[in-house]
Amino acid sequence: MKLAVALVCLSVAVMVVMIYQAVRQEMNLRDLKSRMVENAAEVKRKEESIVETKGKIQTLKQDVLAVNKKVDALWETKKTKTNSEAEFKKNLASCNTEKASAENKKTETGEAIKKLQDEQEVAKKKAEEDIKSLKQQILDRDKAICAFVDTTKEEARKLCGITETPK
């Protein structure tokens, strides 16, 4: 009987341990199920945030592409403006050389005009002197003729400058 009591006690102890293990496993299973539901919800939230982040990344990539295109366009315009600036500088340099040569021609022309004016003045003075000497020669000739001219004729009086009529 002792054996039966010991066996009953032993079987009750084994049953209590088994019930304890079953309850513990059941609690673990409930805990795991609740954690699994929480993890599933958390995974779903993270997946949604990942999808949202992917969408934001796509829009940012599109924005970056648009900005890169604008940057490329700006580089091109800068390049063309730099080229046109170089052309303008080249044209400016050629215009400056043309201006300098035109100014040189202007000064040369001014000097030539001044020289011609001086020569003209000299020629004018020489011509006036020649005219005076010719007038003097004519007057001298006229005086020589007046000595021999008949003063009774009106033309002769005009030529010699006589105003009174002869008697």
- The residues, ordered by sequence, that sit 6+ positions from 163 with a Cβ below 8 Å of its Cβ are 157
pLDDT of residue 153: 78
> Rounded distance, CA 16 to CA 6, Å?
15
Tens of pLDDT, residues 133-145: 998 888 788 777 7
How far CA 21 is from CA of 7, 17, 24, 35, 52, in Å, comes to: 20, 6, 5, 20, 45
| Cα-to-chain-centroid distance, residue 117 | 49
> Rounded distance, CA 84 to CA 86, Å?
5
pLDDT of residue 151: 73
pLDDT of residue 157: 75
- What letters, b where the CB count within 10 A reaches 16 and e where it falls short, cover 14-31? eeeeeeeeeeeeeeeeee
pLDDT surpassing 90 at residue 164: no
The sign of the CA dihedral 119, 121, 125, 131 is positive
**DSSP calls for 83-118:** HHHHHHHHHHHHHHHHHHHHHHHHHHHHHHHHHHHH
Contact 156, 149 (CB under 8 A): yes
The two counts, helices (H) then strands (E), for the chain are 2, 0
Tens of pLDDT, residues 56-88: 999 999 999 999 999 999 999 999 999 999 999
Tell me the average pLDDT across 24-45.
96
pLDDT of residue 160: 74
Give the global pTM.
0.42
> Rounded distance, CA 146 to CA 96, Å?
72
Structure tokens of 127? 């011509």
